[in-house]
Every structure is written in structure tokens, then in C-alpha cells.
């Protein structure tokens, strides 16, 4: 049994009863990493020396001042597009291979205030562009349930490290499904909060109007605690929302009597595998058994979300990634004849193919003569998608469906064909376009590979999403299964 089979609240109690030290927890992390990391390959950088030092300091602290916060001493992994002062942050890109951040992201500062211990930085698709971690410039993270399968992406390292028991929990980021899809593939819990709930200061931007940071955990309860710690208005991010942060864990009552669930027919239709469909119908039966009611609804513009998303996210990316020019930081080409040449070669040598493809797609969609036809059109379609959700959520408490159309696919299976790879995200992308919160919780297996149930809520109503996810989790055993690494 691993220490990370305990929930945060149990570990907290053990620490306070002096039956456990922070050093024990940090040992557990690095020992497990020593055992399985050569198979899983979730980490890009480990911060062992500093983590052990922090653990010592925290152990002294609890001896002198016994009451600490709930997340005190908990070992965490951080996705490598979130900047950490003095700890290499690469976005899994050659262009940032040696980047040494000079400040901490707001979420990292909040983790420090909560006194967690950062174990290391986690692999991802380069600049969060991808659904399999195969676009990392450095390594391919494996799915702990089956090492020939992808862990999902882009937060593949974040999900795989939690599933493999290398850390208690982790932070990921989600632009079109990048927390929920890998959480689903790896059999863990992943939450994309409402846009604006969590500060993006210090998150290396991919698509600024879609990106959100969120927690990946073993249980819904731990997820609620971690989101609590990182949420809130931040003067350094003017898109962070000035709304109250409720006590998320307080909403985990187990009571979903009378909860009104909408099930979009588009989420169980074409392209969704039969096993996935069945697992969602079974999950609905479980929720029904707990007193919830569900009805089929329609989100008629769902099928347009993928196209709108790729135009918009790539447009925003083309602007955001203009900063990587080989001048102020990052990779610089060795043989530049002029400044323009330096830009072009540094970027050509530093970025991988998927990143180049998206920068070019975005540049095209924003270029003179095409702006209205592609970029503006996609923003108008975004309005229609958002309205679909608003109409349904005016009548229902949550929307439920699968997180992904299939379980984890094989490494190498989709990498040659960008469109097939993109289709993986058809069920997660729409809510990024709308800015809504959504979670993936384990809801079954297909051939030994985990499946995820996606629960989508109203704006800033993560509490109801958590309540639903928790009630389902408590009524099922899927989250108790562990990969046989």
C-alpha cells in the first residue's frame, strides 16, 4: 500500500498525530519515482534536493506550531508550462530547454502559502498542443495502465504521475480538454475550472481566452481541496474573476436527490465507442439510483466546436508564441546573418511540427483577407455554442456525458494525421469555448483501460459539479482500482 492511497484529509490527520512526517511523504514520492519512472517517464525535471530541504523545514514547523493547513506537506507535481522560480520550465519545447524562470506563477505562490512540496515538473505536449504527449520534444510519457498506450494530453505527465503513485496530486492546464482527457485515460480525477476561477499569471500562454489551470487527483475530495487552494482573483491577471471562492469540499454531501441532469444526444452519438456509451448509461443509472433525474437534450452546434476551436486557439497561439524569437530568452540559432534571419531560424529550429502547424494556421486565419472568413466566423460560432450550453443549463443543474470517445489509443496510432488526433477532443472542447467548468471522474474500463465520465456545470458552480462527481464516486469502485505497474 502506498501513502498516496490515503486522502489528503487522512494524511493531514496522520501528520498532526505525529504518525507521519512530511519527509516520509517526500520519500514516498522519490522512492516510487525511482521504481517506475523509467517506465512512465512523467517528469521532465525533478527538484529533489529542494523538496527534501522543504520537507525538513516543514517537519520542524509542525513541531513548534502544531496547527497547519490541510495541504501542509503534500507532495505535488506541476505541469511544465507553469513557471517555477529557479526550477527549469520548458513547456516540453526545445525553444525553452534551458529556461530558468525568474518568478513564480500565482498558483505556485499559492501552493507555497499552502505549504505543499513541489516534487518536479511534468511532461506535456509541446506548449500544450496535443492529446497524447507525443508532441513533447523530450520524451513520450506512457499510460501507467498500459505502457504501449498514450497517457493523453496535453497534461499527460500530470495525469500519469498521479495514476502511477509518484505524487499525491498535480496541476495541469486545460485549453481544449488537456486536463480532462488525460485524467480520463489514466483513471484519475481532473477538473477544468470556470474560465477566470484560477489566475493564469505565470502560465505560459497557449490560447489566452481558453486556458485554465486545474487539479488532477485520485479522489474528488482531494480535487476540491486543491482547487480551493489555487482559486481566486489575482491583480496580476486581469481576466481572473472577482467572484467568491466557496468552500468546495463543503458541497460534498453525497446528496444528489432531485439533481437535474442533461445528457446531450450529440455526446453519445457518432464516433463514440459502444463501451464508452454503455459506461455513461450505467453511470446515469447509478446517479438515478441516488435520486437524480436525467433527460436527453440537444446541443445542436456541438459538431462545429472542433473547427471553431482550432481556428481560435491557433490564432491566439500564433500571437502568444511570437514572443519566442531567440532574443530575450530561449533558444537562439547559431548562424544568423540578420535579425530577421535570427528570428526565423531560432523559431524553425526551436519549435516542433505541431507548434509550427498551429502557428501557421493561426497566422493564416488572422491574415489580411481571411480574418472575417475564419477568425471572426469562428468567434460567431463560439457564441452559438455558448448559447446552446446556456439554454440547457437554464433548465438543468449539470450536463453529463463521456470525457472521450474512446479509451487511450496506442502510441504512434494517430500522430501522422492531425485531424484524427484533434477528433479526440470533440467532447471536451465545447466547454472551453463556453468557459464552463467540467470534471472527468473514473466511470469504467474497456480492455483494462480506464474511462471517464464528464460532468459540466454552470459558470462558477464547480460546487455542484463536485457534489455530483463525489456522489457518483462514492457509489462506485472505479477510483479504487490501480494500475499494475
* Site residues for other proteins per CB under 8 A: 98-100, 102-103, 195-196, 209, 235, 238-239, 241, 301, 303-304, 306-308, 310-311, 318, 322, 325-332, 336-345, 347-348, 351, 356-357, 359-361, 363-364, 367, 374, 376-384, 386, 418-419, 433-435
CB of 428 to other proteins, least distance (A): 16
Nearest CA to 424 among 63, 181, 213?
181
State the cell numbers at 374. 475564419
Instruction: Choose between 1 and 340: whose C-beta lies nearer to other proteins.
Output: 340
Q: Which of 14, 307 has the CB closer to other proteins?
A: 307
Q: Which of 132, 161, 170, 178 is catalytic?
A: 178
CB closer to other proteins, 167 vs 191: 191
Q: How far is the CB of 259 from other proteins (least distance, A)?
A: 25
* HSE, side-chain direction, 13 A CA sphere, residue 179: 32
367 as an active site residue: the answer is: no
Name which of 4 and 127 has its Cβ closer to other proteins: 127
Q: Which of 213, 214, 215, 216 is nearest to 201 (CA)?
A: 213
- Give phi and psi for 193, each to the nearest 5: -70, 170
Measure the CA angle with vertex 153, ends 97 and 159; round to 5°. Answer: 95
Question: Does residue 2 carry a catalytic annotation?
Answer: no
Say which of 29, 79, 170, 458 is annotated catalytic. 79
Q: State the nearest-atom distance from the C-beta of 113 to other proteins, in Å.
A: 21
Instruction: Report, in Å, the least distance between residue 244 CB and other proteins.
Output: 15
Smallest separation (angstroms) from other proteins to the CB of 128: 18
Report the alpha-carbon distance of residue 124 to residue 135 in Å, rounded.
8
Our CB check for other proteins shows the closer of 148 and 353 to be 353
> Is the Cβ–Cβ distance between 110 and 215 less than 8 Å?
no
| Residue-level length of the chain | 485
Q: Count CB atoms within 10 A of the CB of residue 19.
A: 9
Sequence-ordered alpha helix ranges (H) in 179-267: 180-186, 220-230
Judge whether 66 counts as a catalytic residue: no
How many angstroms separate the Cα of 29 from the Cα of each of 157, 166, 252, 484?
15, 5, 28, 17
CA distances from 251 to 220, 293, 467 (A): 11, 19, 6
Q: Which of 29, 131, 132, 154 is catalytic?
A: 154
Tell me which residues are annotated as active site: 79, 154, 178
Amino acid at each position: 500500500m502506498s501513502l498516496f492511497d490515503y486522502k489528503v484529509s487522512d494524511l493531514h490527520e496522520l501528520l498532526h498525530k505525529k504518525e507521519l512526517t512530511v519527509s516520509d511523504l517526500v520519500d514516498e514520492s522519490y522512492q516510487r519515482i525511482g521504481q517506475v519512472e523509467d517506465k512512465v517517464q512523467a517528469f521532465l525535471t525533478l527538484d529533489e534536493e529542494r523538496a527534501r530541504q522543504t520537507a525538513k523545514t516543514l517537519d520542524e514547523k509542525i513541531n513548534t506550531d502544531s496547527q497547519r493547513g490541510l495541504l501542509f506537506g503534500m507532495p505535488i507535481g506541476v505541469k511544465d508550462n507553469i513557471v517555477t522560480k529557479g526550477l527549469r520550465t520548458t513547456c516540453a519545447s526545445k525553444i525553452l530547454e534551458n529556461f530558468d524562470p525568474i518568478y513564480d506563477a500565482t498558483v505556485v505562490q499559492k501552493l507555497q502559502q499552502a505549504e505543499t512540496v513541489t516534487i518536479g515538473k511534468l511532461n506535456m505536449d509541446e506548449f500544450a498542443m496535443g492529446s497524447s504527449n507525443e508532441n513533447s520534444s523530450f520524451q513520450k510519457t506512457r499510460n501507467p495502465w498500459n505502457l504501449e498506450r498514450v497517457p493523453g494530453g496535453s497534461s499527460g505527465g500530470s495525469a500519469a504521475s498521479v495514476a502511477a503513485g509518484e505524487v499525491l496530486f498535480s496541476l495541469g492546464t486545460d485549453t481544449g480538454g488537456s486536463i480532462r482527457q488525460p485524467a480520463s485515460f489514466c483513471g484519475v480525477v481532473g477538473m477544468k475550472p470556470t474560465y477566470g476561477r484560477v489566475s493564469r499569471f505565470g502560465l505560459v500562454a497557449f490560447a489566452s481566452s481558453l486556458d485554465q489551470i486545474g487539479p488532477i487527483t485520485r479522489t474528488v475530495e482531494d480535487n476540491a481541496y486543491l482547487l480551493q487552494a489555487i482559486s481566486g482573483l489575482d491583480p496580476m491577471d486581469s481576466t481572473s474573476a472577482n467572484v467568491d471562492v466557496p468552500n468546495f469540499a463543503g458541497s460534498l454531501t453525497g446528496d444528489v436527490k432531485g439533481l437535474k441532469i442533461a445528457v446531450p444526444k450529440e455526446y453519445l452519438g457518432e464516433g463514440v465507442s459502444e463501451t464508452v456509451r454503455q459506461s455513461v448509461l450505467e453511470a446515469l443509472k447509478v446517479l438515478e439510483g441516488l435520486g437524480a433525474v436525467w433527460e436527453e437534450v440537444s446541443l445542436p452546434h456541438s459538431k462545429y466546436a472542433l473547427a471553431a476551436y482550432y481556428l481560435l486557439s491557433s490564432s491566439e497561439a500564433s500571437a502568444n508564441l511570437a514572443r519566442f524569437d531567440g532574443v530575450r530568452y530561449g533558444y537562439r540559432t547559431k548562424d544568423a546573418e540578420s535579425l530577421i534571419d535570427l528570428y526565423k531560424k531560432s523559431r524553425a529550429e526551436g519549435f516542433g511540427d505541431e507548434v509550427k502547424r498551429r502557428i501557421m494556421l493561426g497566422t493564416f486565419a488572422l491574415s489580411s483577407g481571411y480574418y472575417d472568413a475564419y477568425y471572426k466566423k469562428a468567434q460567431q460560432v463560439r457564441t452559438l455554442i455558448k448559447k446552446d450550453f446556456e439554454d440547457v443549463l437554464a433548465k438543468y443543474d449539470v450536463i453529463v456525458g463521456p470525457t472521450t470517445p474512446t479509451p487511450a489509443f496506442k502510441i504512434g496510432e494517430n500522430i501522422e494525421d492531425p485531424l484524427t488526433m484533434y477528433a479526440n477532443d470533440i467532447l471536451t472542447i465545447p466547454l472551453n469555448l463556453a468557459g464552463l467548468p467540467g470534471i472527468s471522474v473514473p466511470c469504467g474500463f474497456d480492455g483494462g483501460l480506464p474511462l471517464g465520465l464528464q460532468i459540466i456545470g454552470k459558470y462558477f458552480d464547480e460546487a455542484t459539479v463536485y457534489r455530483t462527481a463525489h456522489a457518483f464516486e462514492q457509489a462506485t469502485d472505479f477510483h479504487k482500482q490501480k494500475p499494475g505497474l
